[in-house]
Amino acid sequence: MNSNTMPLEAETRVLIDRSLENLGWKLSGKDQNVYYEQPRSEAEKKKLCGKRPDYVLYSKDSDKPLIVIEAKKKGVRLDSALEQGIQYAKAIEAPLVFATDGVFCKAFHTVANRPPILNGEEIDEFIREALALRYLTSYEVNTVSPKVQYDRKELIRIFDEANNMLRGEGLRAGIERFGEFANILFLKLISESEQIKRESGIPTKFDVACSWDSIKQIPISTRIEYINKTVYDKLNLLYDTDIFTPLQIRDASILKEIMDKLDPLMLTDVDSDVKGDAFEYFLKASTSTKNDLGEYFTPRHIVKTMVRLVNPQIGEKIYDPFCGTGGFLIESFRYIHNNMARTEANMKTLRESTVYGNEITNTARITKMNMILAGDGHSNIKMLDSLANPIDGTETYTENGVLHHRGFDIVLANMPYSQKTKHGNLYDLPSTNGDSICVQHCMKAINSAAENGRMALVVPEGFLFRKDLTKTREYLLGHCQLQSIISLPQGVFLPYTGVKTDIIYATKVNKKVKSSEKKKDFWYFDVKSDGYTLDNHRRKLEMPSDLAKYEEYRKLDEEQTDDMLKVGFEVIPLEKVRQNSFVLVGSRYRVPTPLSANSYVMTKLSDVANLIRGISFPKSAQKTIPDATSPRVVTTRAAQTGGIDFDKIIYIDDSYFKEDKLVKKDDILFSLANSLDLVGRVTYVDDDYQNMTFGAFMGLLRADRTKIHPKYLFSMLQSQNAKDYYKSVAKTTTNISNITFEDLGNFVFPLPSLEEQMKIVSEIDSYRQIVESARTVLANYMPKISCSSTEYMTLDNISIFKPSKEEVKDISDDTFVSFVPMATLNTFDAAFSATEERKISDVRTGFTYFKDNDILLAKITPCFENGKAGIARNLTNGIGFGSTEYIVIRANASLVYPEWIFYHINTPEFIEGGRAFMTGTAGQQRVDINYVKQYRIPVPPLEEQKKILDQISYEQSLIEPSKQLIKVFTAKIETRIKEVWGE
């Protein structure tokens, strides 16, 4: 029997059937619209030529098939099942295909030949018949109406306005004002939701006296008292809670103003399956712009992945000790609700004894409101410091004569990072380190008698390798079966934090696993892309997420090992982990493959070069007035890609100089600690420099010339493969990424013979010389602006700074405009061309506005110091948006040309002067806008300006070929290096 004719596993069929029933599909009876292993009509059977789809779903009002479902069978990949389903669906003209293993789903639209989209995201679960019908005419459906979408955006604007009003009421910024607004918003949302229920004939116990419309009828003078004493009392009674506390607003006119602003909004959509999504939208949108609230929100797609990973079932208890706004608990509630049998007993269990959470701040009240709107399950959410209240899952207690174990079946959490705690003495491994105590708390909270207590926990990557957490990692491995670690890319939690994170997934948690049952290894999976841009804006990408690859193999079935290795899983031997201070970063254990695609031998860096550490010295050792013999230190600021920047060299006292740390000709300096984009930057030392050493954040590589040519090594360290490796092994804390010497030494690259290396070096050198010569031409050319005018004016007097967005307020949301990332600007050309477009609705907030002929100036280092500026030209519909790190200058056309300003702000004098007016921390400094506004330039008549600008334009036409040379020969260098890698 081949895999395509094997019967479905009974468990998978039960899961599919239950999910379809819960969505209203009819599996039997006169209204049946779900058919097993064959279509409904004889004509369709003939089209399939005897082949049998696992499920075919129809509309109740049509004979046309809507959906084909193929279930993954043992040993069959989900993609293979999807391909099979697509063949069946195209044969019988069904628009939708689902492939599933009972938990994880992939969908496909056979007409559009791409995944179907629901509300901007790819569909990853079964859908109702009414929704499926909408895919007959399109692959993309939005169940949130345009009005609701617009009103939700308005909600955030109103919150900002209310924030200012509440300041006057004495409420502190952050959670106090946020919570007060949420109290009022809840009344609006619950009223909308209950109205939909009533109109749909769904029974409800909601008292109409609590409705928004009823509250509006109460006179302004008594409205606060009515809400506090009538509405909130009734709601607390209805939901058996105490979360609705009296409003702190004293001024009735402020309450009226906020309610009047909210009143015309429609925030809940009738077509949405999730009535709580409006509140979730508010939480996400508002916390993304308020740093003191951002810690409470974990991205939904990561939450869904973790919930599907642990696969919670009705009857199990799920706990989040750091629940924030309740994302994990709400998703667990929905997941169980969608997949369980909808009996009264199950519903009672789900509502009352399934999800549990603690939140140390008053956000716990918000969490409860969120859960009520999402479907309930709020009763076990507590405002509590979890670390001060450990739960021991090994303890028992007796209730009504029945012995029970404390603890939970599942822990799901995104723990707070890098905190200190005073409660460490309550745990098995006492510590003040919050990372250690958070992990211990999660593990101890799992019921030791549970058949399979499991945990999915987001941790900062430092937990996986820091020396001070070695004992905690040993404790982890001793009290669970570590199944996998999912390495998330840096940036998944932006804009809240840039910390690099990982997901730890473990089973048999809080058990002493018998030696005979202990695993010998665990799976490590490195997520390169989670399907979103890794910046503050986190926009959806067209490319699929690597999380989908992990989810397909989340059962970690040993029979699928070969397939798992092909898609990026790595097997990490636990014995090696124990020998290596229990470090759990998978890249630490990678071994080189024997040959590259070009049949070159692959070698480890440590086998062909000596790695030398830099020197450490206190700030007091630096000399402000050095003499000719003072030792010089190359720091990360001085070590640039193009060579050593001698203006940034540090001079130190002789006593810190070490002879064995001298920099020599053909050495390669390596940045071991820097921002993630710059860590791993390499600098070739082109000469012997007297008394020159290098700092502690630098490493030095000295090639073994019997094995490798230094310049060949330099090219390999500059390759894209190397840069990808640096990012994969970099350990990131706050804004700094570090690469250990051990990880650097483990970098593997192709090693041709020395004779072949010489040929490669010679070819690349010839290209580099052309590039360097062309760069020299550009670097030496500086537009000369000399004019007769003695009249100088400030930029503020001849231009407008930061033009108002009011100029585009009346433009339709669907209008496309240009989007200009910082990388679009360069240091050579005045004008630039924008190649990216977005709808104006997507960029009105959170971005800087400008239009054609406006000048953009990068204000953040190092972009400002590198002269990044440009004049906007040929923008789509004449409008552009871009980084908030732009200063926008609009020239007064009656006084100056935009180019006249551009060339004056692109001079060394302007940039050097701006360095004295920088604000912010090192590496993230910005030029003060007042410096730019007050900068004075000559302003001759427009006719004279034009003559000078025409001359500059002519001169630039002469150096244009140099720009093309740089572009062409840089590409040739990259191509040659890729060829060495076999690409």
For 669-689, the pLDDT digits (tens) are 999 887 777 888 899 998 888
The percentage of the chain sitting over the pLDDT mark of 70, rounded to a whole number, equals 94
Query: How many other β-carbons are positioned within 10 Å of the β-carbon of residue 75?
Result: 12
SS3 260: helix
Of residues 842 and 253, more confidently modeled? 253
Task: For the full predicted model, state whether its pTM sits above 0.75.
Answer: no
The percentage of the chain sitting over the pLDDT mark of 90, rounded to a whole number, equals 38
At CA 643, angle to CA 642 and CA 647, rounded to 5? 115
HSE at residue 204, side-chain half, CA atoms within 13 A, is: 19
CB within 8 Å of 131: residues ≥ 6 apart: 118, 141, 143, 271
Instruction: Evaluate the CA torsion angle 661, 664, 668, 671 in order and state its sign.
Output: positive
Cα separation, 299 vs 289, in Å, equals 15
Q: Terminal CA-to-CA distance of the chain, rounded, Å?
A: 41
Nearest to 370 by CA among 408, 410, 340, 329: 329
Kindly report, residue by residue over 90-132, the tens digit of the pLDDT: 999 999 999 998 888 999 999 999 999 988 888 989 999 989 9
- Provide the pLDDT for residue 70: 93
**Highest averaged pLDDT of the listed ranges 138-152, 226-240, 544-558:** 226-240
pLDDT band at 284 (very low <50, low <70, confident <90, very high): confident
pLDDT band at 548 (very low <50, low <70, confident <90, very high): confident
Nearest to 96 by CA among 87, 86, 109, 105: 109
* β-bridge mates for residue 860, sequence order: 926
Kindly report, residue by residue over 383-401, the tens digit of the pLDDT: 899 999 999 999 988 888 8
Cα separation, 38 vs 44, in Å, equals 9
pLDDT band at 291 (very low <50, low <70, confident <90, very high): very low
Query: How many other β-carbons are positioned within 10 Å of the β-carbon of residue 465?
Result: 21
Of residues 73 and 443, more confidently modeled? 443
3-state helix, strand, coil in the chain (%, to 5): 40, 20, 40
Average pLDDT in the chain: 86
Cα separation, 824 vs 836, in Å, equals 10
Whether 269 and 148 have beta carbons less than 8 Å apart is answered as: yes
Q: If residue 454 lies in a helix (H) or strand (E), which one and from where to where?
A: strand 454-460
Cα separation, 660 vs 666, in Å, equals 16
Kindly report, residue by residue over 752-802, the tens digit of the pLDDT: 999 889 999 899 988 888 888 888 887 777 777 777 767 889 999 999 999
Max distance between CA atoms of the chain, in angstroms, equals 100
Cα separation, 264 vs 535, in Å, equals 34
- Residues 823, 829, 835, 839, Cα dihedral to 10°: 80
Cα separation, 547 vs 689, in Å, equals 49
Instruction: Evaluate the CA torsion angle 408, 410, 413, 416 in order and state its sign.
Output: positive
* β-bridge mates for residue 482, sequence order: 506
Asked if the model's pLDDT at residue 709 lies above 90, the reply is yes
- Provide the pLDDT for residue 365: 85
CB within 8 Å of 946: residues ≥ 6 apart: 897
Please state the rounded mean pLDDT for residues 226-243. 90
pLDDT band at 545 (very low <50, low <70, confident <90, very high): confident
Please state the rounded mean pLDDT for residues 263-283. 74
Kindly report, residue by residue over 431-459, the tens digit of the pLDDT: 999 999 999 999 999 999 998 899 999 99
pLDDT band at 538 (very low <50, low <70, confident <90, very high): confident
Point out the least confidently predicted range of 280-289, 606-615, 644-653, 814-823.
280-289
Please state the rounded mean pLDDT for residues 411-431. 92
Per-residue tokens: 179: 């919570």
Q: What are phi and psi of 94, to 5 degrees?
A: -90, 130
552 burial (CB, 10 Å; 0-12 / 13-18 / 19+) is: buried
Cα separation, 505 vs 486, in Å, equals 8
- Provide the pLDDT for residue 659: 79
- Provide the pLDDT for residue 652: 87
Query: How many other β-carbons are positioned within 10 Å of the β-carbon of residue 503?
Result: 22
Count Cβ neighbours within 10 Å for each residue of 905-921 and write b for 16 or more, e otherwise.
bbeeebbeebeebbeee
Whether 378 and 371 have beta carbons less than 8 Å apart is answered as: yes
At CA 120, angle to CA 812 and CA 274, rounded to 5? 110
* β-bridge mates for residue 918, sequence order: 927
- Provide the pLDDT for residue 151: 84
Cα separation, 613 vs 338, in Å, equals 56
Cα separation, 437 vs 457, in Å, equals 13
Whether 872 and 850 have beta carbons less than 8 Å apart is answered as: yes
Point out the least confidently predicted range of 309-318, 341-350, 615-624, 945-954.
615-624
DSSP string, 616-665: ---GGGB-SS--TTS-EEE-TTTEETTEE-GGG-EEB-GGG--GGG---T
- Give the amino acid at 414: N
Nearest to 221 by CA among 253, 194, 177: 253
CB within 8 Å of 868: residues ≥ 6 apart: 822, 825, 826, 827, 857, 858
- Provide the pLDDT for residue 295: 56
The residue written with tokens 């070590």 in the block is 639
pLDDT band at 3 (very low <50, low <70, confident <90, very high): very low
Whether 940 and 787 have beta carbons less than 8 Å apart is answered as: yes
pLDDT band at 734 (very low <50, low <70, confident <90, very high): low
- Provide the pLDDT for residue 607: 92
Cα separation, 347 vs 334, in Å, equals 12
SS3 334: helix
Cα separation, 503 vs 194, in Å, equals 38
Helices (H), 294-433: 300-310, 327-339, 344-352, 363-374
Nearest to 883 by CA among 940, 946, 834, 919: 834
* β-bridge mates for residue 573, sequence order: 521
- Provide the pLDDT for residue 592: 59
Pairing between strand 355-359 and 318-320? parallel
Cα-based distances in Å from 924 to 131, 599, 863, 933: 48, 44, 10, 21
- Provide the pLDDT for residue 398: 86
Q: If residue 732 lies in a helix (H) or strand (E), which one and from where to where?
A: strand 731-733
Whether 954 and 803 have beta carbons less than 8 Å apart is answered as: no
DSSP string, 208-225: GGGSHHHHHHS-HHHHHH
Kindly report, residue by residue over 830-882, the tens digit of the pLDDT: 677 676 888 898 888 888 999 999 999 988 887 887 778 889 888 889 999 98
Cα separation, 270 vs 144, in Å, equals 8
Q: If residue 900 lies in a helix (H) or strand (E), which one and from where to where?
A: helix 898-904
Per-residue tokens: 271: 């077509």
For residue 460, cis peptide bond before it (omega within 30 degrees of 0): no
Point out the least confidently predicted range of 1-10, 197-206, 748-757.
1-10
